[in-house]
Structure 1
Amino acid sequence: MSSTGEEIAATAEPGASALASQDGVQSNPADQLVEENESLQARLTTTNAELVHSSARLREVEHQLEEQEKIYSEAAADQQKDYIAQCDSLKADIASLTSQLTHLKNELSSAPVTDDNRPATPAGTNVTDGLQKIQRVFKVVLVGDSGVGKTTFIRHLCLGQEAANATSSTVGVDFYTKLMTVQGQCTSLKIWDTAGTERFRSITKSYFRDANGVLLVYDVTAVKSFSHVRQWMGDILENADDHVVVMVLGNKTDVVAERLEDDSVLTNHGRTLADSYRSLFAEVSAKTGAGIADAMAMMIRAMQDVEDEQIRRTRLAVDVDNEGKSGSRSCC
């Protein structure tokens, strides 16, 4: 009986020993959870860091994209402005050429003709007499703010009062011609009527080149147009020739009631500003025509004097050059 118990105990001991050995090899479940939690925590930290980095990179890329879009939009806007300016310039050229064609047709239709459709020549004159009649040719440019009455002024001068009353805002540039006899000389005026709006400002500047005279018009009933005279003067001084004759011209003197208000320009103010630029000064009414002929005659006389002085200096320079050449030959 005791031997049997010993056998059972002997038999049970190996199993218990094996179980104890197995427990020694396997880790504690609580430790495993801790390790897994730490591993997950480390992965979470790494993932968060990657997320932060990716978010920062995304914001950087979005910022670069916004900058590129801004650059492209600005470039597109500038290109669009260039296209608009080119279109405006072409429209102005077309309007100018159309106006010139209309005036030439009017001059041609008003000229007397003979039976063989050639212009009639007065008896006792040569065919060249008509060409010799025009002794001076001057280019004159009208500038000033929109609405000051430039077109009304020039249409009254060239076409009469009835035509002056039917005017609209100038688009780009318009062209007129006028013959006037001043100081016994027949003078042909080639007059360019420019738009006063800002969008045509760059086009207007190009017409100052080779101009003999510039009429800078303002509205005597609108002090704002008078305050812009200095800006227009800056454009003239920058783009016109040094010898150009400039006249500061106050228009709408017929509106007496409005001129008595605060928003008006007195005559002495206009004259003082013109004197500061050594320019001519006059006041007119483009509506009634008062003062227009006198103002243009004053300007033509000034342009004639400038041209005479240029001719005198040119001849003097040629004479000095010829004397120098003659002296050098005699010395040899």
Structure 2
Amino acid sequence: WKQSHDKDNTNRIKNSTENTSTICVSVCVFLQTILVGDSGVGKTSLLVQFDQGKFIPGSFSATVGIGFTNKVVTLDEVKVKLQIWDTAGQERFRSVTHAYYRDAHALLLLYDITNKSSFDNIRAWLTEIHEYTQSDVVIMLLGNKADMSSERAIRREEGERLAREYSVPFMETSAMTGVNVELAFTAVARELQQRSVQQPSEPRFQIHEYIDAQKEKSSCCRVF
């Protein structure tokens, strides 16, 4: 199974690279983003919501190994291609997903606000991330399933406190309603895009301030 799985991944990576060379004729920045977190926190649903703008209830079994989606977003008239990798949360697939950490530009680390153990495991995930990723990788902590507030096990303040401890941006998201989903991806994309063009004399892009400003501007939906 492992040899077959590795061969499939190799072919997919080759194909994705070929697709990148075609698309990047008109795309200025290429970024690799990885979704990580315990199994069942909603990584695949979050990705589908961002990519397709919809929620498909009860349609996903646990991700096996890793899969990816390409999506082009426009930031200030600059086209940015995100290659988003959806990883399996189960321990037995960690050796597979570790190989993808090294090339990641950004990681979205998810927990389920209704599942205390998924939050308790965040520290272990962050330790693992720091061990295998580049030192300048962008990390964002997301408390997913914010629509399920009646079943909440983790208060938003707890997520905010943990994010401050590790100096990473934080927000609560809902793959079901779409709340903050696009903002999560575009915020890390903008951070990375700004890094690629920023001059040493220019002030550094502040992702926390950007997120707060976007939340204030949003009047079409409730922000958790």
TM-score class, shorter-chain normalisation, is 0.7 to 0.9
Equivalent residue, structure 2, for 1:289: 178
- 2:101 alignment partner, SS class: coil
1:94 corresponds in structure 2 to 8
What is the match of residue 245 of structure 1?
Answer: 138
Amino acid at match of 1:257: S
Check 1:133–1:205 CA distance in 2 against 1; reply closer, same or farther (3 A cut): same
1:93 shift after superposition? 5.3
Alignment pair present for 1:219 and 2:112: yes
Q: What 5-or-longer segments of structure 1 have no aligned partner? A: 1-86, 109-129, 313-332
Alignment of 1:247-326 (within 5 A): 247-259=140-152, 264-309=153-198
Percent identical residues: 35
Rounded to whole Å, the distance in 2 between the matches of 1:100 and 1:285 is 33
Q: 2:86 aligns with which of 193, 211, 229?
A: 193
Letter of the structure 2 residue corresponding to residue 282 of structure 1:
M
* RMSD, aligned α-carbons: 2.8
User: Residues 72 and 81 of structure 2 are in contact (CA less than 8 Å); yes or no, is this contact kept in structure 1?
Assistant: yes
**In 2, Cα distance between the equivalents of 1:152 and 1:96?**
25
Q: Which residue of 2 aligns with 1:74?
A: none
C-alpha contact (below 8 Å) 2:45/2:55 kept by paired residues: no
Shift of 1:166: 2.7
User: Aligned partners of 1:252, 1:100: CA distance in 2, in Å?
Assistant: 34
Please tell me whether the aligned partners of residues 247 and 279 of structure 1 are also in contact (alpha carbons under 8 angstroms): yes
- Kept in 1, the 8 Å contact 2:108–2:139? The answer is yes
Which one has a larger percent strand, Structure 1 or Structure 2?
A: 2
1:50-92 per-residue CA deviation (whole Å, 9 max, x = no partner) reads xxxxxxxxxxxxxxxxxxxxxxxxxxxxxxxxxxxxx447426
Equivalent in the alignment of 2:102:
209
> Which AA in structure 1 matches 2:127?
G
Would the aligned equivalents of 1:283 and 1:291 in 2 still touch at CA under 8 Å?
Answer: yes
Q: Structure 1 residues 183, 306: CA separation in 2 closer, same or farther (over 3 Å shift)?
A: same
Shift of 1:307: 2.9
Q: Secondary structure at the match of 1:141?
A: strand
Number of aligned positions between the proteins: 199
Q: CA deviation at 1:304?
A: 1.8
Gaps of 5+ in 2: 202-224
Q: Find the residue that maps to 2:189 and give its secondary structure.
A: helix
Distance 2:158 2:45 in 1: 23
Separation of aligned partners in 1, 2:3 and 2:178? 32
TM-score, normalised by the number of residues in structure 2? 0.78
Judging changes above 3 Å, is the alpha-carbon distance between structure 1 residues 96 and 192 closer, same or farther for their aligned structure 2 residues? farther
Residues 166, 304 of structure 1: alpha-carbon distance in 2 compared, 3 angstrom cutoff: same
Q: Counterparts of 2:122 and 2:4 in 1: how far apart (Å)? A: 27
> Is the 8 Å Cα contact of residues 37 and 122 (structure 2) preserved in structure 1?
yes
TM-score (norm: length of structure 1): 0.54
Q: 1:135 to 1:98 in 2, by over 3 A?
A: closer
Q: Secondary structure at the match of 1:200?
A: helix
- 1:177 paired with 2:70, answer yes
Over residues 151-201 of structure 1, what are the superposed CA-to-partner deviations in whole Å (9 max), with x where a residue is unaligned? 110111112315576322110000111111123321100011110000001
CA contact (8 A) 1:92 1:171 kept: no
Deviation, 1:144, is 0.3
Note the C-alpha offset of 1:248. Answer: 0.5
If each structure's helix is expressed as a fraction of its own residues, which one has the higher value?
1
Q: 1:149 to 1:162 in 2, by over 3 A?
A: closer
Contact 2:55/2:176 (CA < 8 Å) preserved in 1?
no
Aligned to 1:49: none
Q: Give 1:272 deviation, angstroms.
A: 1.4
Question: Residue 138 of structure 1: which of 31, 52, 57 is its match?
Answer: 31
Q: Is contact 1:92–1:172 with CA below 8 Å preserved after alignment? A: no
Whole-Å separation in 2 of the counterparts to 1:188 and 1:204: 21
Q: Rg larger in 1 or in 2?
A: 1
- Distance in 2, matches of 1:268 and 1:218, equals 14
| CA offset digits 1:303-330 (Å, max 9, x no partner) | 1233335998xxxxxxxxxxxxxxxxxx
Quick one: distance in 2 between partners of 1:218 and 1:93? Answer: 31
Q: Distance in 1 between matches of 2:124 and 2:109?
A: 11
